[in-house]
């Protein structure tokens, strides 16, 4: 809320607090309100309300053979890591499949009816690669699955049959957003393996906001009205909720079936990192894995037609030609991390990110917001109505809160 006031009611804030920092700047670049446990609970409830999860509605007679799941929040370096994995001739590592979120291909089609077409093309590209067919034939196969209500388990199984002894790797960041999606991997596959990809929270947040990924959040959950979180808050919430869900899943997964990788290590020490991954997967190391930009035709970094780009990091081939270690810390030029809330700080510390600065000092506007909360006003209800107020009305509201707070002391 404090960030919203600075960004949208700059004139009123400056009249009240001339020394207030960051007034009028883009909200994405400023701290905005801290993301605490309450905000994490709020966003979980919001997502559950907007997109209820359907339990698996078909019998699972036999689990599919082992697959590998690359788990992470979005903007964590998962596209680069997927392509590094694709450099191994025993691994089949396609773009986002977007399968575990659904029971059948019909559900997937209906739920994604209004999303950008590119979101759906990772699966089309996978059909093309596994079946050696044209985009037209792949789309026809997709339509058949959708019309027949084909269970996602059968789609996975067909891919695995086509792959022979190659191992399927599913890299779909959206899975980590909901614990039941992650649990489906355990229900559908025989002892799947998990690669847990970490990235410094500030690095992920900077990348998420740079790419306006909050818009994807709203599209995915069909949110037409403003939501009570800034783009930066959404990024932090996605980072926190995704990792919390992954760790919750891992409480029931033996340590031998999970392996943690840091993005910073993948770009800073790629050979050592990929050797560790190969040891975990029971594979011999292959040097092609650390040259992800070589032989792109083998790694599905194109779209379903030649002029398209893959589903995933849209700048993968445009911005880089080799692994760049500097990418890991580029966020430090723009963010300090002093805005991070308690949940993000606790997770970051558990993951070994011990370079976070102290939490920022409370500003005058933050104090006003706290006063609003102390007076038992619903800050989110206020936020939802702020755009209907003039600067003068906002100023009067703030003055009433400040005067009321001073009078009570």
DSSP-assigned letters across all residues of 255-304: GGGEEEEEHHHHHHSHHHHHHHHHHHHT----GGGG-TTSSGGGTT-B-S
Give the C-alpha separation, 390 to 308, whole Å.
45
Q: What is the dihedral of CA 100, 101, 106, 112, to 10 degrees?
A: -130
Residue with tokens 């026809």: 140
How many Å apart are CA 87 and CA 123, to the nearest integer? 20
Q: What is the mean pLDDT of residues 172-197?
A: 97
Closest of 78, 14, 396, 42 to residue 262, by C-alpha: 78
Res. 307 pLDDT band, cuts 50 70 90: very low
As to burial, measured by CB atoms within 10 angstroms (0-12 exposed, 13-18 middle, 19+ buried), residue 8 is middle
Alpha-carbon distance of 231 to 92, in angstroms, equals: 34
Mean pLDDT of the chain: 84
**Least confident window among 28-32, 345-349, 355-359:** 28-32
Higher pLDDT: 239 or 391? It is 239
- Confidence (pLDDT) at 356: 87
Task: For residue range 258-280, list pLDDT tens digits in order.
Answer: 999 999 999 999 999 999 999 99
Cβ neighbours for 293, distance < 8 A, ≥ 6 positions apart? 317, 320, 321, 322, 323
β-strand pairing of 91-92 with 68-71: unpaired
| Segment 200-257, tens digit of pLDDT | 999 999 999 998 898 887 777 777 667 788 999 999 999 999 999 999 999 999 999 9
Phi, psi of 261 (to 5 degrees): -130, 135
The rounded percent of the chain whose pLDDT value lies above 70 is 76
Band (118; pLDDT cuts 50, 70, 90) = confident
Q: In what order do the strands lie in the sheet with 68-71?
A: 91-92, 167-171, 68-71, 193-198, 258-262
> Greatest CA separation found in the chain?
76
If DSSP codes are grouped into helix, strand and coil, which group holds residue 362? coil
pLDDT at position 384 is 56
Weakest mean pLDDT among 79-93, 174-188, 248-262, 382-396: 382-396
Which H or E element spans position 87? Answer: none
Task: Taking each helix axis as running N to C, give the angle between helix 231-250 and helix 37-50, from 0 to 180 degrees, rounded to the nearest 10.
Answer: 90
Please name the residue that has the structure tokens 């980590």.
Answer: 176
pLDDT the model gives residue 207 = 94
Q: Under a CB-based contact definition with an 8 Å cutoff, are residues 128 and 138 in contact? A: yes
CATH 3.40.50.300, the chain: domain bounds: 68-331
State pTM to two decimals: 0.80
pLDDT at residue 381 in the model = 57
The region that residue 354 occupies, defined by phi over 0 for left and psi between -120 and 50 for alpha, beta otherwise, is alpha
68-331 folds as Rossmann fold (3.40.50)
In this structure, is the dihedral angle defined by the CA atoms of residues 306, 108, 70 and 64, taken in order, positive or negative? negative
Cα 167 from Cα 181, distance rounded (Å): 21
pLDDT tops 60 at residue 3: no
How many Å apart are CA 285 and CA 289, to the nearest integer? Answer: 8
* pLDDT exceeds 70 at position 179: yes
How far, in Å, CA of 202 to CA of 207, rounded?
8
Residue pair 175/181 in contact by the 8 Å Cβ criterion: yes
**Residue 237 · residue 39 · CB < 8 Å:** yes
At how many degrees (to 10) do helices 201-210 and 213-220 cross? 80
List alpha helices for 164-200, DSSP H. 179-188
Q: What pLDDT score was predicted for residue 178?
A: 96
């Amino acid at each position: 809320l404090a960030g919203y006031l600075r960004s949208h009611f700059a004139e009123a804030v400056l009249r009240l607090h001339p020394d207030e920092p960051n007034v009028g700047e883009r909200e994405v670049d400023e701290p905005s309100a801290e993301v605490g446990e309450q905000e994490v609970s709020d966003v979980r409830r919001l997502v559950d309300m907007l997109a209820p999860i359907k339990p698996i509605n078909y019998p699972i007679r036999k689990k599919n053979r082992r697959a590998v799941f690359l788990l992470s929040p979005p903007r964590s370096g998962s596209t680069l890591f997927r392509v590094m994995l694709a450099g191994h001739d025993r691994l089949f590592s396609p773009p986002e499949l977007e399968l575990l979120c659904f029971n059948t291909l019909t559900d997937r089609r209906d739920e994604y009816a209004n999303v950008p077409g590119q979101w759906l093309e990772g699966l089309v590209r996978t059909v093309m690669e596994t079946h050696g067919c044209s985009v037209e034939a792949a789309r026809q196969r997709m339509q058949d699955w959708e019309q027949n209500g084909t269970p996602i388990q059968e789609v996975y199984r067909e891919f695995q049959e086509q792959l022979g002894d190659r191992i399927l790797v599913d890299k779909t960041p959206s899975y980590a957003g909901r614990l039941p999606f992650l649990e489906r991997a355990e229900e559908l596959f025989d002892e799947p393996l998990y690669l847990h990809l970490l990235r410094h929270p500030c690095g992920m947040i900077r990348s998420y906001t740079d790419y306006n990924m909050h818009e994807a959040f709203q599209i995915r959950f069909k949110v037409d009205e403003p939501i009570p979180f800034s783009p930066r808050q959404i990024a932090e919430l996605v980072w926190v909720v995704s990792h919390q869900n992954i760790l919750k899943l891992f409480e029931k997964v033996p340590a031998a079936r999970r392996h943690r990788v840091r993005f910073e290590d993948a770009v800073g020490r790629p050979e050592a990192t990929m050797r560790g991954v190969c040891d975990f997967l029971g594979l011999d190391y292959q040097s092609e894995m650390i040259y992800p930009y070589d032989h792109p035709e083998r790694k599905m970094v194109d779209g379903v037609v030649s002029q398209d780009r893959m589903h995933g990091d849209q700048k993968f081939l445009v911005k880089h030609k080799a692994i760049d270690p500097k990418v890991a810390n580029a966020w430090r030029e723009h963010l300090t991390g002093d805005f991070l809330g308690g949940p993000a700080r606790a997770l970051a510390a558990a993951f070994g990110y011990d370079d976070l600065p102290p939490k920022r000092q409370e500003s005058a506007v933050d104090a006003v917001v706290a006063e609003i909360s102390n007076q038992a006003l619903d800050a989110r209800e206020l936020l939802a109505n702020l755009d209907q107020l003039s600067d003068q009305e906002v100023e009067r509201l703030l003055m009433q809160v400040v005067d009321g707070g001073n009078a009570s002391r």
